[in-house]
Structures are given as C-alpha cells and as structure tokens.
C-alpha cells in the first residue's frame, strides 16, 4: 500500500512539473499573432509583415523584426520595425513591392526588463509570374495548327506516292498448287 502511494505521488509531481514547464514555455512567447500567419503559402507577396505582441511595449522595451529570403540569405525588409502609435502591441516592417517567390523567414526579438525573447516563423510566396489565359489560347491554337499541318502534309505525301506509282501494291497471294 505504501509503495502505491509513493508511485501515485511521483506521478502527480511529474504531471504538475510538466504543466508548469508548458506554462513557462508558453509565457516566454510574447507573440500573439502574425500577418502573414506562420507557415502561410501566399499567392501574392505581402506589402509588410505585422506582428502583434501579447503585452504592449513599454518605452524602455525594444523589439526587432527582420525578414530574410531563405534561399539567397538576402535581408528583404526595407526599414526597421515600427511600433503602431495607436496600438503599442503592433509592430510592422515594410517589404519591397517586387518581393519574389520563395520562402521567407521572419526573425523577431523582444528586449524588455533585462530579458530577451526571440524566435522565428516563415511564410512562402508562390511563383508570381503567371501565364494568362490569352497566352494559353495562343499556345493551344499554335499546337492545333502544327498538328493540322502535319496531317495535311502526310495525306498529300501518301496520295502523291500512290498516284505517281512510287508505292507498288503488294502482289496477290499465290494460290496453292496442288492436285485437285
């Protein structure tokens, strides 16, 4: 009985410790939400990256955002992150209008009260060069025209060979010779 109580107590202590660890880890992430959303796949590039913090930034606190193209390693943000005057939890960093396709990594760091918290998330911009419907119609008509021309040339060649005698019909099959 005593061993059973020790095991139950150990399980309870383990569960409480796990919950406290999860709560502590969750409290270290000051990010409430982002736009684009972490892991988003976008059809068109965003004009900026927005991050909303759980707590308003105080005057002595500092936050940084940087946006990097993951394949080239080039930093893509146009300026330092700015704090929204109307919402002290909202940070915004502008991006170039001609942001190309690819995966982008947003790194953030918040410095407040002598502590630093940092992290990152990514988003992907799909290939922005698209083929319009007009281009597809042109390609389809060109393909159909080439196929029709090939059929006409092949038919003419076949008819000319037959009419000019360039192609001789095969001889008729011979009848078997044998006694009647």
CATH for 83: 2.60.40.1220
Residue 153 domain boundaries: 131-168
Q: Are residues 147 and 71 in the same domain?
A: no
For 133, the 3-state DSSP assignment is: helix
**pLDDT, tens digit, 9 for 90 and up, residues 103-134:** 999 998 888 777 888 889 999 999 866 545 56
Residue 121 sits in the same domain as residue 135: no
Structure token pair of residue 27: 């409290």
Measured distance CA(147)–CA(158) in Å, rounded = 17
The answer to whether residue 11 is domain-embedded is no
Same domain, 117 and 61: yes
Residues 49 and 95 in one domain: yes
* From 1-10, 92-101, 138-147, 164-173, the region with the lowest mean pLDDT: 1-10
Do 90 and 146 belong together in one domain?
no
127-168, pLDDT tens digit by residue? 866 545 566 677 777 787 888 888 888 787 777 777 777 766
Q: Are residues 51 and 102 in the same domain?
A: yes
Domain count, the chain: 2
16 domain-assigned: no
Strands 90-94, 82-83: parallel, antiparallel or unpaired by DSSP?
Answer: antiparallel
Asked whether residue 115 is assigned to any structural domain, the reply reads yes
The reply to whether 56 and 92 lie within a common domain is yes
155 vs 169: CA distance, rounded Å? 18
DSSP 40: -
Q: What is the pTM of this model?
A: 0.55
- The answer to whether residues 92 and 116 belong to one domain is yes
Within a domain: 3:
no
Q: In what order do the strands lie in the sheet with 115-125?
A: 41-42, 115-125, 102-112, 62-69
Residues 34 and 54 reside in one and the same domain: yes
Dihedral angle over CA of 71, 74, 80, 81, nearest 10:
-10
- Claim to verify: residue 136 and residue 104 sit in the same structural domain: no
**Beta-strand runs (E) in 36-177:** 41-42, 48-53, 62-69, 82-83, 90-94, 102-112, 115-125
**Boundary (domain end) residue, out of 125, 140, 155:** 125
- Cα–Cα distance measured from residue 93 to residue 34, given in angstroms and rounded to the nearest whole number: 12
């Amino acid at each position: 009985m005593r061993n059973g109580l020790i095991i139950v107590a150990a399980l309870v202590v383990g569960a409480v410790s796990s919950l406290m660890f999860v709560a502590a880890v969750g409290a270290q992430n000051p990010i409430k939400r982002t736009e684009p959303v972490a892991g988003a796949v976008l059809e068109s590039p965003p004009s900026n990256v927005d991050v909303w913090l759980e707590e308003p930034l105080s005057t002595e606190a500092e936050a940084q955002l940087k946006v990097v193209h993951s394949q080239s390693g080039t930093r893509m943000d146009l300026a330092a992150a700015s704090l929204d005057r109307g919402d002290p939890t909202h940070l915004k960093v502008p991006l170039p209008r001609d942001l190309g396709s690819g995966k982008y990594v947003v790194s953030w760091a918040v410095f407040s009260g002598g502590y630093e918290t940092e992290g990152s998330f990514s988003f992907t911009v799909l290939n922005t060069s698209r083929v319009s419907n007009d281009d597809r119609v042109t390609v389809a008509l060109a393909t159909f025209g080439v196929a029709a021309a090939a059929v006409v040339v092949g038919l003419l060649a076949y008819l000319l060979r037959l009419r000019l005698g360039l192609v001789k019909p095969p001889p008729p099959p011979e009848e078997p010779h044998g006694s009647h």
